[in-house]
Amino acid sequence: MLRFFRLALIAGTAVAATATAAIAEIDPLTRQPLVSYVDPAKAQATAIPREVVSFSGTYRPGTIVINTSERRLYFVLPDGKAVRYGVGVGRPGFEWGGAQTVSRKTEWPTWTPPAQMLKRRPDLPRFMPGGPENPMGARALYLGSTLYRIHGSNEPETIGQAVSSGCIRMQNEDVIDLYERAKVGTRVVVAR
């Protein structure tokens, strides 16, 4: 329950008063319950639940594997398991693949749209401070020296869609969970 209130305070909302929680499974690394918090005002019928699943592959525990065609992100756990999250991915023309590492992590990141994005969308702000209205969401994991990030979103309805300019979007609750698991230096594999 303490984790729930901490997340509510981090988000700066009154989620604690209105959220519901569902325990899906116990996290094998921390032995803590995997809890999904849903703000009823933003609940989506199409929400993709975070869950621990069987995972086969040669990736070491702690690796992040993103399957863009499946629109899922896996945080590899020991013993053939992974935490699976729903993600939003790059729209047609903005897909990419390869391997990177988490080079930096930020809570409530600011947003400065890159020049390429401003050229396409001159109506965008040149800078936006971090906070609930920021499209970068609650957390960001920067990928190497690229312009790409794994970040939260203030548009939860885009999770499971191909709508971004190449970044990997997550529900804020999920990116907070991933942020706590992943370290700077974590290997990230993006498969198409």
Q: Characterize the bridge pairing of strands 162-164 and 149-151.
A: unpaired
Instruction: Supply the pLDDT for residue 3.
Output: 37
Q: Tell me, what's the pLDDT at 192?
A: 85
pLDDT digits (tens, 9 = 90+) for 171-186: 999 999 999 999 999 9
First to last CA, the chain: 38
pLDDT of residue 175: 98
Contact 88, 105 (CB under 8 A): no
> Can you give the residue ranges of every domain in the chain?
45-191
- The pLDDT assigned to 114 comes to 87
Q: Per the residue annotation, which of 77, 167, 168, 170 is the catalytic one?
A: 167
Q: Within 13 A of 86's CA, how many CA atoms are on the CB side?
A: 18
Residues 109-140: tens digit of each pLDDT: 999 988 888 998 999 999 999 999 999 999 99
Measure the CA–CA gap between 43 and 67, rounded to whole angstroms. 24
According to the CATH classification, is domain 45-191 in 3.40.710.10?
Answer: no
User: Which residues touch 150 (CB under 8 Å, ≥6 apart)?
Assistant: 64, 66, 73, 87, 140, 141, 143, 167, 168, 170, 175, 178, 188
Residue among 51, 47, 84, 81 nearest 66 (CA): 84
Angle, vertex CA 143, rays to CA 139 and CA 144, nearest 5? 140
Pick from 177, 188, 186, 187: which is nearest to 30 by CA?
Answer: 177
Q: Which of 84, 105, 151, 169 is catalytic?
A: 151
Mean pLDDT of the chain: 82
Model confidence at 14: pLDDT above 50: no
- Provide the whole-model pTM: 0.75
Higher per-residue pLDDT: 155 or 40: 155
- What's the DSSP call for residue 123? T
Give the CA-trace dihedral at 166, 66, 176, 25, to 10 degrees: 150
**134 included as an active-site residue:** no
Neighbours of 173 (CB within 10 A): 23
The yes-or-no answer on residue 167 being catalytic is yes
